[in-house]
Structure formats: structure tokens, C-alpha cells
Structure 1
Amino acid sequence: MKIIETELIINAGGFPQSKEWQNIHRDILNAIHSIEWPPGSGSFTLYDESGKKRGQGNGVKPIKEACMKKLQSSGWRLETPVDVATVRRPGPMDATIEVNGRLFCVEWETGNISSSHRAVNKMALGILKDILIGGVLILPTRKMYNYLTDRIGNFLELSPYFPLWKSLQVDEGLLAIIAIEHDGVSKDVERIPKGTDGRAII
């Protein structure tokens, strides 16, 4: 699995230069790079088929789960309920780790572009309210998107809104969006299953 681009949305105070962030960043990079398909291949190759039609393309949830399992093995907590003081409590964060009494979270996009917006808003609000010290959203590039379940949120569609989130006034915290991409495509590999069934991708 490749990391194509990282966009820093919030980069404020001392945390982005801290040892804690260096360790968190290392965990995230290791988790992303550890994802393989087929399992044990040493790379990440998608089945060469568009995901635009029903029943075609590659699933996304097993990819996320592989990343989450790797983070969990490094001491992260999964599916953490976090109250960011909204009227309606949002769903749990995919993965969190504690940093000096606050949480750093990772969200991996498996929904549509509206889901991507909600994830960024949730993390930004948590940072503004001093509940989170930071967060990272991981989502596919537009190139990778073409081979996945239709309408998955992707980096290109989200990028026009970066200036809005960058305008937030924050004293301390870090928010980043990471674009990931496959190493290649082939008709000689199996499709990644849709849903949560199938072999682990790690």
C-alpha cells in the first residue's frame, strides 16, 4: 500500500513537533504499509475491475480492518466512543490512543463523500473543544477509487474543502488527511471481498 499525499489541515502549537506525534505518525505509516493483497504477497494489488456496477470492484471494509488490527497490535484502542459535544453523539472513532489526557484518533473511510465530511468535521470539532489532540483521516486517491465499491469518499473530492478547515483557529493540535493507493492492478488476483467476510488483508 502506498501513501501518495498527506495534507496538513491543522498544525498548531507544540504537538506537531513532539515525540508523541512522531510515535503516532510511525504507527500510522506502519499500519498502512503493512496492508497486503493477496495476503503474504509483500504488495497491495487490486483486482482489475471497475467498481461502478453492482457486485463488481473491490471491497473496502477488509482493507480498513487490516489497518485497524495493526494499530491495535501497537496499543491503539478500536471503536472508541468519543463525545465531541454535539447535539447528536456521533459514532465511535475507528482507532484512538491517549496523549497526555486527550485522544488522538484515526478514521479510515469506508463510506461516501458525505461520510468523509462528517469524519473531518468530527475530528476538527474535537480538537476545537480540547477533547482531541489530533486526528488523521485515511482515504483513497481518485485512481484507487475507480477499483473500489462505487461512491467511496476520495481525496480529490474532499480537497476543495481543505481551505475551509484550514481557516479554523486552533491553539494546539494536528489534523491530517492521508491519500492512499494500491501498488498495482491485475486480473490474476482475487477481488477483495465486500463487507467484513473473507481473509484478513495483513
Structure 2
Amino acid sequence: MKWVRTIVLFNEGDVISSNEWKKLHESYVRAIQSIDYPEGSGSLTIRKKFQLPGKQWKRNGVSYLKSRFLKSMTTTEGWDAESDVPLDKDRQQPPMLLYPSLEAYQEPITSNFGGFDFMTKTVSGIRAAIEWETGNISSSHRSMNKLAIALRTGVLEIGVLIVPSRDLYEHLTDRIGNIGELSGYLAMWNGLKEGVKRGLLAITVVEHDQLTDSIEINYLPVGKDGRAREGRAKLAKKDSTHLK
């Protein structure tokens, strides 16, 4: 798999110049570049999307890509997977107003964030988290918001979201999060740097090495939940109708 670029949305306290950031970035980029298909080929070759009779498209699933990244990050690079976010529910909310009474009000926090996909801590104490996007575009927004809040509260010093390029997105499960659809929101996340004492928020963009329409290359397997399940049901219906 190809690392395309890393976009740093904010860099408070000059984290970007640290040796720790350099090493952490090199670590997860190695994990990205280790993802190949067919396995053992040394590069990621995926089938082009294909339109079936009607409007439904056959595309590649995303679970294979994350599972390969997970294996490399945990077994080779030494990151922890599915780590909890140590954000207390009783942390203080900013003052707000009720309308029409205009009374000061603080809404209680009643939900947890859930864990980050990958976390690690350097010898010097820098804490880093990575979210690998396998969900729809709303999942990307949730991940970015979670990383930004963790940086603002000092739980993390480095937060990274990994998403497909627009070109890769075209051949993956429909509506998967991607840099094209996030691009209009980058200024908003940049604005969240206010209040961050030391922290770096970044988006890393990834892409396939090659595209093919060869039937000798299978489509990457589709997952078993969410949009993937919906897509499989549509495909099954199309195939059934086509066979009649």
C-alpha cells in the first residue's frame, strides 16, 4: 500500500520537530507499506469497481486492509490495539446558556468515547493515537473529533486519522470515509488547536499501488456489518434478479 501524504492540521508546542514524532510517523508508514495483495506480492493491487446490471457497483471491502495494518502495528511495530480513552465523564464542560431563561448551564457528559484503534507511549512520555478509517464518512468525523478533544484535554500529544485517497475510495465499499469528503472541514479542525498546550493533529492519506480489471485478482473481502452488510444484500438481490 502506498503512503500518499500526511497533512498536519495543527502543531502546538512544535511536536513536529521532535524525534519522537519522526519515529512514530516512520513506524505507522512502514505498517501501511507492508499491506499487500495478493499477500506476499509486495504491493497492493486491487480490482477496479464494476457496475452490475442496474445501478449497483461491485467494489472492494475494507476489512482486509485494516486487519493487515493491525497485524503489522501490533506484532512488528509494537503499538497497542483498541486502547481505552482515559477521558472522565465528570470533566468540566464549558459554560452554556439555556433559552429562553438565559440561565448558565453545563450539560452532564453521559457517554464514553470508546477506544482508539492504536495507541503507544514513547520513552519520553509522548502519547500517540491512530484511528484507521473503515466506516462511513460520519465515522471519520467522530474519529477526528475524538482525537481533537483528547489533544485539548492533554490525554494525547499526537493524534492521527488514516483515510483513503479519493482514487482509492472509488473502488472501496460505498461511502467509506475519505480525504475528498473531509477536505472541506480541515479549517474547522485546525481551529480546535486553541487551548492545546502541546499537540499535533494529522490526517494521513493512503492509496493502492496498482489497479487492475483482471479476473485473476479477487475483490478484497467485504466485512459483516454496517454498510458492508447492506451492500452485500443489494448485490445478492441484483444477482438473483439477473439469474431469473
TM-score in same-fold range (> 0.5): yes
Aligned to 1:3: 3
Gap change, CA 1:194 and 1:162, over 3 Å in 2: same
Aligned to 2:67: 65
Tell me which structure has the larger Cα radius of gyration: 2
Task: Give 5+ residue unaligned stretches, structure 1.
Answer: 197-202
Match of 2:139 among 105, 111, 115: 115
Kept in 2: contact 1:50–1:146 (CA 8 A)? no
- Higher relative CO (CA 8 A, sep ≥ 6), structure 1 or 2? 1
Match of 2:208 among 179, 182, 197: 182
CA distance in 2, matches of 1:145, 1:137: 15
Please, which moves more after superposition, 99-108 or 63-72? Answer: 99-108
Shift, 1:53, TM fit = 3.1
Please, which moves more after superposition, 18-27 or 127-136? Answer: 18-27
CA distance in 1, matches of 2:113, 2:169: 25
Aligned to 1:173: 199
Aligned to 1:34: 34
For the aligned residues, what is the CA RMSD?
1.8
Match of 2:159 among 101, 117, 135: 135
Amino acid in structure 2 at the alignment position of 1:2 = K
Aligned to 1:192: 220
Q: How many residues align?
A: 195
Match of 1:164 among 158, 181, 188: 188
Match of 1:89 among 112, 121, 130: 112
Kept in 1: contact 2:20–2:126 (CA 8 A)? no
Task: Give 5+ residue unaligned stretches, structure 2.
Answer: 90-108, 225-244
Amino acid in structure 2 at the alignment position of 1:22 = K
Query: What TM-score results when the alignment is normalised by the length of structure 2?
Result: 0.75
Query: What TM-score results when the alignment is normalised by the length of structure 1?
Result: 0.90
CA distance in 1, matches of 2:73, 2:222: 22
Kept in 2: contact 1:83–1:89 (CA 8 A)? no
Amino acid in structure 1 at the alignment position of 2:120 = I
State, as a whole percentage, how many aligned pairs show the same letter: 41
